[in-house]
Amino acid sequence: MILKDKIFISTVNTNKSAEIKRVFEPLGATIVDFPMIEIVGAELAAVRGAISRNEDFDWIIFTSTNGASYFYTFLQEITGQRNLSKFTKIAVIGQSTEKVVKKLDRTPDFVGSGNTAEELVNELIEKELVSGLNILLPLGNLAPDLAQKRLTKISEVTRIDVYKTIRSRHVDHTKIEMITNSQYDLILFTSPSGVENFLVTMGKENISPDFRIASIGQVTTQAVEKIGLKSLITSENSTYEGLSEEIVKYYKSIV
């Protein structure tokens, strides 16, 4: 196995730990958890209005697994219903979010082929599926508003932040020592917020340009560069499988 004996520091939140290990451990890698973020639900009052009138929306667009999971949790808590009306169409980004929606409700009406919210919205617009309609966007507090602005030009759009991304409140100093002593092969970043929190957690004095980093997406790589570091590997496919494929390619290229 090409990743045998490799040690990867994972910065994903605790809830995603098992998922990333399922991808990397069969390839021989050891995943060491060093979560940089925590995902928490929004305040109930902030989402009650939109979710209580969910049947008023023609489309609900999910751009992440977290957005879908927290939305359905609030849906049942606020309305007592587990499923959306059959008259409300559902769009999702990618297979991971599709799986969540299928498990919690039903098969989505549209699955985007891209990796970003903007690509999903562009596909919906190009296929003329969302013009002049009432649309709900359940997002996280750090999600950019590019997709929202694009849709607002042609439809009535409501955004609700169903979850919040915060810096991990627990700091494991043994992991900091592993990194500063170079007792690892790669640090895995999957979001800009994870990178920013890494800088705070490590402390600027412990940041070294020699850190070996792999990241998901150009936006995350740009965040890495912003703190003075460099990603050896960037996966354009924003899944753990996509990241693992790029890492395998990298190690094969340097053998």
User: By percentage, how much of the chain surpasses pLDDT 70?
Assistant: 100
Give the residue-averaged pLDDT of 120-132: 96
- Band of the pLDDT at 115, cuts 50, 70, 90? confident
pLDDT for 26: 96
Helix (H, G, I), strand (E, B) or coil at 77: helix
Domains 7-36+168-254 and 40-165 share a fold: yes
Token digits for 124? 């919906």
DSSP secondary structure letters along 116-181? SHHHHHHHHHHTT-STT-EEEEEEETT--SHHHHHHHTTSEEEEEEEEEEEE-S---HHHHHHHHT
**Model-level pTM?**
0.83
Per-residue pLDDT tens over the stretch 46-98 = 999 999 999 999 999 999 999 999 999 999 999 999 999 999 999 999 888 99
- Nearest 5°: phi and psi at 238? -85, 50
Given strand 110-112, what is the order of strands in its sheet?
37-41, 156-167, 134-140, 59-62, 89-93, 110-112
- Check residue 52 and give its pLDDT: 97
Confidence tier at 177 by pLDDT (50, 70, 90):
very high
Say whether 247 sits in a helix, a strand or coil: helix
Q: How many CA atoms within 13 Å lie on the side-chain side of 120?
A: 25
For 113-138, what is the mean pLDDT?
Answer: 94
Look at residue 238 in the predicted model and tell me its pLDDT.
81
Span 180-203, mean pLDDT? 96
Rounded to whole angstroms, the Cα distance separating 111 from 102 reads 11
Q: 3.40.190.10, 3.40.50.10090, 2.90.10.10, 3.40.50.970: which CATH number matches 7-36+168-254?
A: 3.40.50.10090
pLDDT at 1: 78
From the candidate CATH numbers 3.30.230.10, 1.20.1070.10, 3.40.50.150, 3.40.50.10090, the one assigned to the domain spanning 40-165 = 3.40.50.10090
pLDDT tens profile 102-111: 999 999 999 9
pLDDT band at 122 (very low <50, low <70, confident <90, very high): very high
Q: Residue 255: is its pLDDT beyond 80?
A: no
Domain ranges of the chain: 7-36+168-254, 40-165
Predicted pLDDT at 237: 85
Task: Kindly report, residue by residue over 10-38, the tens digit of the pLDDT.
Answer: 999 988 899 999 999 999 999 999 999 99
At residue 68, the pLDDT reads 98
User: Residue 196: its pLDDT value, please?
Assistant: 95
